[in-house]
């Protein structure tokens, strides 16, 4: 027995050394200081699944065009006019641009959207940006639409957005000789249908891409990001934000659980005594109180896809312009949104410097809408 123990001792020692090495290796990857040359970091970003919005107009056009809705100059122009046209709404006051303001990051800057007759979104939902939305695989907070064309049919009819019906919209559009002419140019004949209206709006949305300094960096301009932004990018990759926010739209390609790590704890659920790790003081001693599932206020009681706290991963392009944050718009400060993400999606406590570096990197995703020459579509 003793001999076996002596024989096992060195093995035990090795196991301890191995474990310590593993833990410290993790600590290094979890809290890096910028260690890579800009060129290595660029490669690392490409390997992590980031892709640039290309500067080359031909590549750009190839990227946004789709056989389901081939783009042409007239269709994009028509879609643009429809996007800004409030007559599409029931009382002629609300257009897509009311909630998706292109000069303000593609959203409305409000915690919750306000539409027809000042109705608030019944789930207290925040308006996401339309900028770069065409690059997403999923649209809406629960990802229920697969394209911008499919999406556009929703807000026109939603009673708390534009409150119209397809027939009403078709009738109003067909009454305009200007629109009739554009329809003919865009689709080859005079037929005005609801499907074509959503296709034209979708075509315009496909052109709403915003290349940024980060794209220049990905395309090889290594000085496009400063030191702090590069450190932020490296952290964004190492901390694991890129597991969900990646691709050209830096989001929009997955539906994911939020929060990943349980946020509530139940002290004694049988008696309805719940609490949360964040608001320690809010321990409710009430059998009717259900615990708040989020690390922020549960406004609107919206739980995403299948009510399972699964959400479309949002686009992070122009995120510095689209406060407040999250599906219910309950967080105003981007730093706080970053802290929450690291803590509840990755189980990592970031320090102030790290949060600021990531915020600086996110600032490099601010871009201007591409100035397409419409003849490029013909």
Q: Report the catalytic residues.
A: 161
Residue range at the interface with ligand HEC (CB under 6 A); choices 40-48, 62-70, 226-234, 337-345? 337-345
Q: What is the nearest approach in angstroms of ligand HEC to the Cβ of residue 194?
A: 11
Question: Among 373, 374, 372, 367, which Cα is nearest to 129's?
Answer: 367
**Binding to ligand HEC by residue 77, rule CB under 6 A?**
no
132 binds ligand HEC (CB under 6 A): no
Among 325, 357, 365, 372, binds ligand HEC (CB under 6 A): 325
| Residue 363 binding ligand HEC, by CB under 6 A | no
Indicate the residue among 60 and 99 with the shorter CB distance to ligand HEC.
Answer: 99
Exposure string over 17-52, b if 16+ CB within 10 A, otherwise e: eeeeeeeeeeeeebbbebebebeebbebbeebebbb
Of 54, 211, 314, 367, the one binding ligand HEC (CB under 6 A) is: 314
> What length is written for the chain?
378
Q: Is the dihedral of CA 279, 280, 281, 283 positive or negative?
A: positive
Handedness of CA 87, 166, 71, 180 (dihedral sign): negative
Which residue in 77, 121, 318, 364 binds ligand HEC (CB under 6 A)?
121
The two three-digit tokens of residue 296, written as one number: 């922020």
One residue of 52, 111, 115, 247 binding ligand HEC per CB under 6 A: 115
Question: Closer to ligand HEC at the Cβ: 240 or 275?
Answer: 240
Q: Which residues contact 126 (CB under 8 A, 6 or more apart)?
A: 107, 110, 111, 112, 113, 324, 325, 326, 327, 328, 329
Burial of 83 per CB tally in 10 Å (0-12, 13-18, 19+): buried
Does residue 69 belong to the site contacting ligand HEC (CB under 6 A)? no
Residues 166-225 that bind ligand HEC (CB under 6 A): 201
Residue 2 Cβ, how far from ligand HEC at the closest point, in Å?
50
**Within a 13 Å sphere around the CA of 282, how many CA atoms are in the beta-carbon half?**
15
* Binds ligand HEC (CB under 6 A): choice among 141, 179, 214, 263: 141
Number of H-type helices and E-type strands within the chain:
13, 5
Catalogue the E-assigned strands of the chain: 255-257, 264-268, 273-276, 284-285, 310-312
Q: Shortest distance, CB of residue 350 to ligand HEC, whole angstroms?
A: 7
Structure token pair of residue 320: 């510095």
| Using rule CB under 6 A, residue 162 touches ligand HEC | yes
Binding range to ligand HEC, per CB under 6 A, among 56-64, 177-185, 210-218, 253-261: 253-261
Distance CA 17, CA 175 (A): 79
- Binding segment toward ligand HEC, per CB under 6 A, in 17-25, 97-105, 223-231, 283-291: 97-105
240 makes contact with ligand HEC (CB under 6 A): yes
Q: Tell me which of 319, 357, 360, 365 binds ligand HEC, using CB under 6 A.
A: 319
**Cβ at position 15, least distance to ligand HEC in Å:** 31
Among 93, 256, 264, 320, binds ligand HEC (CB under 6 A): 256
Alpha helices of 222-271 — where are they, by DSSP H?
227-239
Q: Taking CA 214 as the corner, what is the angle to CA 319 and CA 68, rounded to the nearest 5 degrees?
A: 75
Number of residues in contact with ligand HEC, rule: CB under 6 A? 50
Can you tell me which residue has the tokens 């349980």?
Answer: 262
Which position among 64, 156, 163, 253 is part of the footprint of ligand HEC (CB under 6 A)? 156
Name every residue whose Cβ is closer than 8 Å to that of residue 352 and which is 6 or more positions away in sequence: none
Q: For residues 263 and 325, which CB has a smaller minimum distance to ligand HEC in the complex?
A: 325
Q: Which is nearer to ligand HEC, 139 or 210 (CB)?
A: 139
> Are 297 and 279 a contacting pair, CB within 8 Å?
no
Specify the pairing of strand 310-312 against strand 255-257.
antiparallel
For residues 72 and 320, which CB has a smaller minimum distance to ligand HEC in the complex? 320
What whole-number distance in Å separates Cα of residue 56 and Cα of residue 60? 6
Residues forming contacts to ligand HEC in the complex (CB under 6 A) are 94, 96, 98-100, 113, 115, 121, 125, 127-128, 130, 133, 136, 139-141, 148, 151-152, 155-156, 161-162, 201, 239-241, 243-245, 256, 258, 260, 311-314, 319, 322, 325-327, 337-338, 341-342, 345-346, 358
């Amino acid at each position: 027995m003793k001999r076996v123990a002596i024989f096992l001792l060195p093995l035990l020692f090795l196991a301890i050394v191995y474990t310590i090495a593993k833990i410290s290796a993790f600590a290094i990857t979890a809290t890096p200081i910028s260690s890579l040359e800009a060129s290595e970091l660029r490669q690392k970003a490409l390997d992590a699944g980031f892709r640039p919005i290309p500067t080359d107009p031909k590549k750009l056009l190839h990227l946004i065009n789709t056989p389901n809705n081939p783009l042409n100059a007239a269709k994009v122009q028509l879609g643009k006019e429809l996007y800004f046209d409030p007559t599409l709404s029931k009382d002629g006051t609300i257009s897509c641009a009311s909630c998706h303001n292109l000069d303000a990051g593609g959203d409305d800057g409000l915690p919750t959207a306000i539409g027809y007759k000042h109705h608030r979104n019944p789930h207290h939902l925040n308006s996401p940006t339309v900028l770069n939305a065409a690059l997403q695989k999923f649209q809406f907070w629960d990802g229920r639409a697969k394209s911008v064309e499919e999406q556009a049919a929703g807000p026109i009819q939603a009673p708390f957005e534009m409150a119209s019906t397809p027939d009403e919209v078709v009738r109003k559009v067909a009454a305009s000789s200007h629109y009739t002419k554009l329809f003919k140019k865009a689709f080859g004949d005079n037929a005005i249908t609801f499907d074509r209206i959503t296709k034209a709006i979708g075509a315009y949305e496909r052109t709403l891409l915003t290349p940024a300094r980060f794209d220049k960096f990905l395309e090889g301009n290594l000085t496009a990001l400063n030191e702090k932004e590069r450190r932020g990018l490296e952290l964004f990759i190492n901390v694991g934000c890129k597991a969900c926010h990646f691709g050209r739209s830096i989001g929009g390609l997955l539906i994911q659980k939020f929060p990943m790590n349980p946020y509530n704890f139940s002290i004694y659920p049988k008696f309805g005594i719940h609490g949360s790790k964040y608001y320690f003081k809010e321990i409710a001693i009430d059998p009717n109180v259900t615990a708040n599932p989020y690390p922020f206020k549960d406004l609107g009681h919206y739980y995403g896809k299948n009510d399972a706290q699964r959400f479309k991963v949002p686009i992070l392009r122009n995120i510095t312009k689209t406060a407040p944050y999250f599906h219910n718009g309950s967080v105003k400060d981007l730093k706080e949104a970053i802290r929450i993400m690291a803590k509840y999606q990755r189980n990592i406590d970031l320090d102030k410097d790290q949060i600021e570096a990531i915020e600086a990197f996110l600032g490099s995703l601010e871009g201007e809408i591409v100035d397409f020459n419409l003849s490029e579509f013909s």
